[in-house]
Amino acid sequence: MNIKFFAIPYAIWLVLFSIIPIFFVIYYSLTNSNGSFTLENYINLSDYSNAFVRSIALSTISTFISFIIGYPTAYAISKLDKKWQKAAIAGIILQMWVSFLLITYSLMTAMESNGIITKFFNLIGIHFPLINTSFAVIIGMVYSGLPYMILPIYSSLSKMDHNIIEAAKDLGANKWTIFRRITFPLSSPGILSGFLMVFAPDMSSFIISKMLGGNENILIGEIIELKFLGSEFNPWAGSAISLVLMIFIFLVIGNVKGLLER
């Protein structure tokens, strides 16, 4: 039996739950409530420019912070003994098993005026509101996205051929040169996967901004949610926003991939 036969269920799933829904989104974005063709949904996208810019800024910051924390963590784990690697990875996966909504509620409670995070900052002499701020949204994004940055980078690092590193050492390369010329480039697939798995959900996030950001930090994902399920019901405009957001994410990921492959 041809091994391609086993890909048929996935192909059917892809068509039913990815390709066909995208065509529906495109159709709705180009029509109005009467089913007539219109470009008004795209013309009115400027009304949501502030939310777009805010989403891009916060998602970029949170992804960058996740990378700054995640790469050294993944690198350190890859250098541990095998049994300790398994324990560390199990601890990271354990966080992913916890309900995302429960994590967000916990962060919201911790960042309120009497929350443990606020008390910690007050203890070290830092006094500023946490909840209902952009800072709170970034904390929520980093906390929820960090495991998805660590795991793919760790996977790339752990599968690296260490004979290449040994050969570089024999040729006189120092640690920084080995990292810059060998380790980092070979881990680029993991970095790209981590970037995709963190940036894309952050850009379309609405639970984090709604619960931690308040009314002053509305992200584009929250506006899309309002257009489909909320008080501002307008699936035609929501489809246009969703399509533009999806195209933007693909362009960003493509540019990041190009930078890593240079």
SS3 (DSSP) at 231:
coil
Summarize pLDDT for 41-71 with one digit per residue, the tens. Answer: 999 999 999 999 999 999 999 999 999 999 9
Residue carrying the six token digits 């946490």: 130
Alpha-carbon dihedral angle through residues 214, 220, 225, 230, given to the nearest 10 degrees: 60
Q: Would you say residue 61 lies in a domain?
A: yes
Q: What is the DSSP letter of 34?
A: T
Collapsed DSSP state (helix, strand, coil) of residue 2: coil
CATH number (domain holding residue 157): 1.10.3720.10
In a domain, residue 191? The reply is: yes
pLDDT value, residue 111: 87
**Segment 206-239, tens digit of pLDDT:** 889 888 987 778 899 999 999 998 778 999 999 9
Residue 37 pairs with which residues in a beta bridge? 31
Name the β-bridge partners of 129.
none
> Domain of 142?
47-261
Rounded CA-CA distance 148/232 in Å is 32
Number of domains in the chain: 1
Q: Does residue 194 surpass a pLDDT of 90?
A: yes
Domain-embedded: residue 244: yes
pLDDT in the model for residue 187:
92
Give the pLDDT of residue 1: 56
Is residue 27 assigned to a domain? no
Residue 42 lies in a domain: no
Task: Indicate the DSSP class of residue 232.
Answer: T
Calculate mean pLDDT across residues 14-20.
Answer: 91
pLDDT for residue 262? 66
Residue located via tokens 């492959």: 261
- In a domain? residue 60: yes
Whether 33 is in a domain gets the answer no
Q: Which of 18-27, 155-164, 209-218 has the lowest mean pLDDT?
A: 209-218
Kindly report the average pLDDT of the chain as a whole number.
Answer: 89
